[in-house]
Each structure stands twice: as structure tokens, then as C-alpha cells.
């Protein structure tokens, strides 16, 4: 199955929500792991997510009770889905006659900082996994969860089990980290939106990271960042296809580095976009630096910033995008700041109902026409562009959410496959 690797290799496998979504699927996952075990691969660490839909259900429950619940209460509630999956997969492995060691974050020691709901892993204690291997058991570990040095539960942000898996692979010096999901790998666009999207067989960390950060949900951005930092190969494959089927390998320096590389490797869609705008600022106002400092303190990532200073007017306007999930807390923080400073006449507006569509590819470095083609392709389909931003290897446009899927298809057809 892993014929390229010695039987003594340590391997981390992660199974996502759909892969453990029902009793049947959990049994099928256990059967696959059991086959590997019988082939002689013993150093297996399996990371699992909550069953599909479970984390959403828990988030909704918290919001129903108190949308402003403390970070600790939120994390304690939403991390519960992974606990059930760990127990069920361990039970399914037992039914296969294999000893399994179910591990939650506190038990294993997945230490993070204390930024609730978006914590970062600092250190993983692998002692209990290695002891379990020596005693002949497979480790089954809860993804998504962490623990602060004070033993408070944290979570890594939505989709964070991928990051748990890659961090664990690094800590265990694994041969590779396998991400098992419900599609064959990373495609040139979400195959559920773009029917003729193609599977990308090898992808370098840089493009994979951009695609993940810009909304292609199949990999959590921080897992790619960790993979790149530690040179950990990441393999994305479909839980439900036989071994040896097509897959994506994320690794350093692939074909996308070559001169012949496509200009655009992938088109992504991020629906988690909101905009805050501050209007009526005097031109010499220091408020803007205070605003960004405050957002930084809250852990709110600011994305596209548009600074608007008409020649004729005495005031300026600054608009910027953030994650929709941060909108309420950022809006409140801004309103507080403005009030504290006694600044009257400022208008703060919040908008959701937006989405960001991006084209990503290292080929853009040596190709000048991407912005023009993006504008023409979108406007010719009647799609309005609200904001735009470019970097060396990507172009992003903010559009109305209702236009987002069409915009994704239009850019895919324009740059990848018509
Ligand atoms: P899991 O629960 O296994 O972690 P996710 O739902 O987080 O799975 O990620 C897999 C989903 O990501 C796919 O079902 C697909 O709809 C979506 N997706 C978005 N962009 C892409 C892409 N470029 N390639 C593959 N899948 C993508
Ligand atoms: N269960 C968590 C979520 O739904 C983590 C994950 O699936 O990766 O966000
Ligand atoms: Mg996921």
C-alpha cells in the first residue's frame, strides 16, 4: 500500500468530517487502517474531525444561547464533536481486532497559545503515542482541539484538523501526512462549483498556501504553512476510492515552477468576507493606525484595504475586508474606539453579502495581462467588482455573494479551461 516506505515509517492520516460521517463510514475507515496494520505498518497516528455537520451544529447552539459567549465556553462546546469521532473510530478499530489508543488534546498534550477559536499550536508531546506504538496500539487523536499551558481547552479555527495532523506529523517526524477527504485531491477550483475543474497532481507549498488562504477549503492554510516550514509532504486523497487512485501531492518545487507553467493554477472562492468602512475621517487623523492595532490585538486579520482620499474633500474614507465571522467583534471594537476618542461625525458601516474570488499561480510573475483579462471576463458577464487586490502570484476580486459562483466559473474558463 505504501510500498515506497519501510514498515517502520511513522505515518499520520487525517480523516475529515464526511469520512467519519456515519457508522458505516467509520467502519470503512477502520477497515482501511486494519489492512495497513496487517500489511505491517504499525506506527500509525490517525487524526479525526467531528462528523460532518456536527461542528456547525455546536456553533449554532452556542450562538443560540449566547452569541457573545467567552472564548473558553465556545471552544469547550465546539471541540466536543471530535471527542465523539475519536471514541467511535477507536471502537471500530477494536472491532477489527486492533488495539487503539483514543487521545484527546489534553491527554496527548497538544499545547497552543490562548487565542480561543483561532489558537496556534506551540508544542506537541508525542510520548504517549510512541509508548502506545511500542505496546502495539494505533493512536487515534482528536483534531481541531488544543490545550493552553493552564489546561484550558482551545480550538484551531474552522477546518483546523488538517493543521493538527500536519503538526503531529512534524512532531513525530513522520514520512508524510495523508489528508483523507471527500474529493480526490486539490482541484483547479472547487469541483462542486466548476464541473470541469481538473485534479492538480503535484502542487508546491506556495501555491497550495495561497489557494488555501484564499478559500479553497480542502486544506487549512496553516497546515500548508507548517508543511512548507518543516518540509513535510502532504498527500490529499479521497477516503472513498481505492489506494493507488489519483491524488494530490503537496511538496516543494513542482512543475508549477517551470517556465511553461500555466499562468493560473487555481481559482478559489471565499464566502467568509465582510467589509467595514469608516467615512468622514480628517486627513491627518491618527485613528486609522489605532484601528489596525486594535484589530491586530483582537486577532482579526485585515485583508484588502482601500484608502479613498478625494482631492476636493476634506475627509477621507477607509474600507477594508475581514472575515465575516469577525465582523461583530471588529465592528464593536471600532465603535468603542471612536467613542473613547470622542470623534463625532465619523460614519462606520458594516457590510456582509460579499465574497472574494481569486486566481492563483506562480506563472503570473512573468505574465502581465492578468488584471485586464480578469476585469474584461467578469464585467462582460455583468459581474460588478467591489474591490480588487493583486500580489505577485494572485489576483483577488470582491464581488456580491450572489455573483460569486458565476465569477469563479468565469475566471476558471478564462484562465484554466474554457
Ligand atoms: P473535510 O471534512 O474532509 O476536511 P472539507 O469540507 O473541509 O473536507 O474540504 C473538502 C471540500 O473542499 C470538498 O468537498 C470541496 O467541495 C471543497 N473545495 C473547495 N475548493 C476546492 C479545491 N480547489 N479542490 C478540492 N476541493 C475543494
Ligand atoms: N470539526 C472542525 C470544523 O468543522 C475542524 C475540521 O473539520 O477540520 O471546523
Ligand atoms: Mg476540512
Each residue's pLDDT tens digit, 62-82? 999 998 899 999 999 999 999
Mean pLDDT of 12-41: 97
Mean pLDDT of 48-70: 96
In angstroms, the CA 232 to CA 246 distance is: 20
Q: What does the pLDDT read at residue 284?
A: 72
Q: What does the pLDDT read at residue 368?
A: 82
Q: State which of 13, 55, 117 you would mutate to test the pocket of ligand 2, scoring each by most atoms of that ligand within 8 A of its C-beta.
A: 55
Which residues lie with the beta carbon below 6 Å from any ligand 2 atom? 16-17, 49-50, 55, 81, 143-144, 158-162
In angstroms, the CA 397 to CA 407 distance is: 9
CA angle 347/350/356 to nearest 5° reads 135
Q: Tell how far the Cα of 56 is from the centroid of ligand 3, in angstroms.
A: 12
Q: Which residue has the cell 503535484?
A: 202
Q: What's the pLDDT tens digit per position in 327-339?
A: 988 999 998 888 8
Residues in the chain: 418
Q: Name residues whose C-beta falls within 8 Å of residue 60's C-beta, 6 or more positions apart in sequence.
A: none
Backbone angles phi, psi at 159, to 5 degrees: 80, 10
* Cα distances (Å, whole numbers) of residue 59 to 53, 71, 88, 141: 10, 12, 21, 21
pLDDT at 259 over 70: no
pLDDT at 313 over 80: no
- Closest ligand to Cα 57: 2
82 Cα nearest atom in ligand 2 = 1
What does pLDDT average to over the chain? 93
Kindly report the protein residue whose alpha carbon is nearest to atom 15 of ligand 1.
Answer: 190
In angstroms, the CA 126 to CA 395 distance is: 40
Q: Distance between terminal CA atoms of the chain?
A: 37
Q: What does the pLDDT read at residue 338?
A: 86
Q: What's the pLDDT tens digit per position in 192-227?
A: 999 999 999 999 999 999 999 999 999 999 999 999
pLDDT at 258 over 60: no
185 Cα nearest atom in ligand 1 = 25
CA angle 302/306/310 to nearest 5° reads 150
Q: Quick one: which of 307, 300, 347 has its CA closest to 327?
A: 300
Lowest-confidence segment of 152-161, 164-173, 286-295 by average pLDDT:
286-295
Max distance between CA atoms of the chain, in angstroms, equals 77
Q: State which of 16, 17, 84 you would mutate to test the pocket of ligand 2, scoring each by most atoms of that ligand within 8 A of its C-beta.
A: 17
Q: What's the pLDDT tens digit per position in 110-151?
A: 999 999 999 999 999 999 999 999 999 999 999 999 999 999
CA angle 293/221/237 to nearest 5° reads 170
Mean pLDDT of 277-284: 84
Query: β-strands 100-103, 138-142: how paired?
Result: parallel
Q: Quick one: which of 304, 297, 288 has its CA closest to 338?
A: 288
Amino acid at each position: 500500500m505504501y510500498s515506497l516506505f519501510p514498515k517502520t515509517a511513522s505515518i499520520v492520516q487525517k480523516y475529515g468530517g464526511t469520512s467519519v460521517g456515519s457508522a458505516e463510514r467509520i467502519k470503512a475507515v477502520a477497515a482501511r487502517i486494519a489492512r495497513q496494520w496487517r500489511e505491517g505498518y504499525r506506527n500509525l497516528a490517525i487524526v479525526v474531525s467531528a462528523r460532518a455537520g456536527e461542528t456547525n451544529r455546536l456553533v449554532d447552539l452556542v450562538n443560540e444561547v449566547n452569541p457573545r459567549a467567552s472564548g473558553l465556553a465556545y471552544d469547550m462546546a465546539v471541540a466536543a464533536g471530535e471527542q465523539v469521532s475519536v471514541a467511535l473510530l477507536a471502537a471500530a478499530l477494536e472491532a477489527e481486532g486492533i488495539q487503539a489508543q483514543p487521545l484527546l488534546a489534553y491527554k496527548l498534550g497538544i499545547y497552543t497559545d490562548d487565542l480561543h477559536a483561532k489558537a496556534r499550536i506551540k508544542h506537541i508531546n508525542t510520548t504517549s503515542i510512541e509508548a502506545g506504538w511500542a505496546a502495539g496500539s494505533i493512536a487515534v487523536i482528536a483534531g481541531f482541539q488544543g490545550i493552553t499551558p493552564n489546561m484550558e481547552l482551545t480550538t484551531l479555527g474552522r477546518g483546523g484538523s488538517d493543521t493538527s495532523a500536519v503538526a503531529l506529523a512534524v512532531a513525530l517526524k513522520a514520512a508524510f501526512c495523508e489528508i483523507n477527504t471527500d474529493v480526490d485531491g486539490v482541484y483547479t477550483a472547487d469541483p462542486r462549483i466548476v464541473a470541469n475543474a481538473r485534479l492538480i497532481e503535484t502542487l508546491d507549498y506556495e501555491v497550495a498556501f495561497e489557494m488555501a488562504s484564499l478559500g479553497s477549503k480542502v486544506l487549512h492554510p496553516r497546515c500548508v504553512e507548517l508543511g512548507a516550514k518543516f518540509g513535510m509532504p502532504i498527500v490529499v486523497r479521497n477516503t472513498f476510492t481505492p489506494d493507488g487512485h489519483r491524488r494530490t501531492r503537496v511538496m516543494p518545487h513542482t512543475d508549477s515552477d517551470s517556465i511553461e507553467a500555466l499562468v493560473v493554477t487555481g481559482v478559489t472562492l471565499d464566502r467568509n468576507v465582510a467589509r467595514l468602512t469608516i467615512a468622514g475621517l480628517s486627513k491627518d487623523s491618527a485613528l486609522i493606525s489605532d484601528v489596525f492595532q486594535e484589530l491586530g490585538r483582537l486577532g482579526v486579520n485585515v485583508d484588502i484595504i482601500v484608502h479613498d482620499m478625494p482631492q476636493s474633500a476634506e475627509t477621507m474614507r477607509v474600507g477594508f475586508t475581514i472575515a465575516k465571522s469577525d465582523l461583530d467583534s471588529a465592528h464593536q471594537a471600532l465603535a468603542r474606539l471612536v467613542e473613547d476618542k470622542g470623534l463625532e461625525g465619523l460614519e462606520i458601516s458594516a457590510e456582509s453579502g460579499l465574497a472574494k474570488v481569486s486566481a492563483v499561480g506562480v506563472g503570473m510573475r512573468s505574465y502581465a495581462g492578468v488584471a485586464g483579462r480578469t476585469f474584461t471576463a467578469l464585467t462582460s458577464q455583468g459581474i460588478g467588482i467591489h474591490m480588487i487586490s493583486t500580489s505577485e502570484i494572485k489576483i483577488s476580486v470582491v464581488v456580491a455573494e450572489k455573483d460569486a459562483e458565476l465569477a469563479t466559473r468565469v475566471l476558471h474558463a478564462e484562465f484554466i479551461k474554457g
